[in-house]
Amino acid sequence: MLVKEQNQSQVKTARETEKIEITLLLEAIFLQYGYDFRNYSTAHIRRRIRRHLELSGMANISAMQHRLLTDRDFFQSLLYDLSINVTEMFRDPSFFLAVRNTVVPILATHPFIKVWHAGCASGEELYSMAILLKEEGLFSHLQLYGTDFNDMILSKAKEGIISTAAIQEYTKNYQQSGGRSSFADYYTARYERAIMAPELKEKILFANHNLVIDQVFGEMQMIVCRNVLIYFSRELQNRVIRLFYDSLCRGGILCLGSKESLHFSDLQDNFTAIAEKEQIYQKNY
């Protein structure tokens, strides 16, 4: 019994030490580089830091903190791990089908359409939206914006390169999303890579923007930020939703991820759900 109690005490002490180390690490990142992860989901941050610690071969998180303060390249590699990079073409086809059926008629009433993909990662969903809006006849008066806080991942997004190994799955997603053509019309395959069509790239502007610390991003007809808020604390979620509200025109559209919602948000009464299952909302007039 005594040994068991000692083991439990050691585990508790180790967890408390790790919590302090992570707090100090995030504070160091903010003070040295200006990136603020202090209000991200604790579980998400802990999981990513543990992963990077294992890959780096360092003894503990405190050693990582010392390294990142003096080695910007090491910080950049950690920043990539802390970024939310899970994405794919036409991810959740039912969402894109709902955009076709419910959102497009609203967007079509605007003389010019600006769409912001916040936290665009490597850009697959952004290129998907470009394809959809092209097929729906909105391409001539459209400007898409893709933002992320990670310059490394933004560079990848600008290239518009996807693996041919994923093409079959992406083609299936495209078809299920109501695609009106052949998915192959929108890329050129070379060796083991597929490059998105230049006409899609011409409609997209990429920029560095940090949802945690940066301000309003223009006046948009639609904002898409899917499966990002789930990694934020409730306080940070409210801040970001306020940012989206202030960045939308009257009657603008806000699209969240399947596991996200405006319920319990401080601004829930400022939006109306127009496709509740797909978490698509319209800003009240």
Length of the chain: 285
Q: 281 — phi, psi (to 5°)?
A: -125, 155
Where are the alpha helices (H) located in the chain, listed in sequence order?
2-33, 42-56, 61-70, 72-82, 93-98, 104-107, 124-135, 151-159, 167-176, 198-201, 234-247
Indicate whether 57 and 133 sit together in one domain. Answer: no
**CA separation for the pair 202, 211 (Å, rounded):** 25
Reading the block at residue 148, the tokens are 């992320």
pLDDT in tens, the chain (285 residues): 655 555 665 556 778 888 999 999 999 988 888 888 888 878 888 988 998 898 888 889 999 999 999 998 898 888 878 876 668 999 999 999 999 999 999 999 999 999 999 999 999 999 999 999 999 999 999 999 999 988 888 999 999 998 888 898 999 999 999 999 999 999 999 888 899 999 999 999 999 999 988 889 889 999 999 988 888 888 899 999 999 999 999 999 999 998 898 988 899 999 999 999 999 999 997
Indicate whether 161 and 279 sit together in one domain. Answer: yes
Q: Is 196 within 8 Å of 230 (Cβ atoms)?
A: no
Structural domain containing residue 27 = 2-82
Indicate whether 97 and 28 sit together in one domain. Answer: no
| Residue 56 confidence (pLDDT) | 86
Q: Strand 220-225 relative to strand 248-256: parallel, antiparallel, unpaired?
A: parallel
Indicate whether 109 and 14 sit together in one domain. Answer: no
* Count of the separate structural domains present in the chain: 2
Indicate whether 164 and 64 sit together in one domain. Answer: no
Distance (Å) of CA 80 to CA 76, 104, 149, 151, 208:
6, 34, 10, 9, 14
Residue 88 lies in a domain: no
Domain limit, last residue, from 82, 109, 137: 82
Indicate whether 174 and 76 sit together in one domain. Answer: no
Indicate whether 189 and 120 sit together in one domain. Answer: yes
- CA 244, distance to chain mean position in Å, is 14
Residue 275 lies in a domain: yes
Indicate whether 6 and 107 sit together in one domain. Answer: no
Domain limit, last residue, from 29, 51, 82: 82
Query: Tell me, what CATH number does 200's domain have?
Result: 3.40.50.150
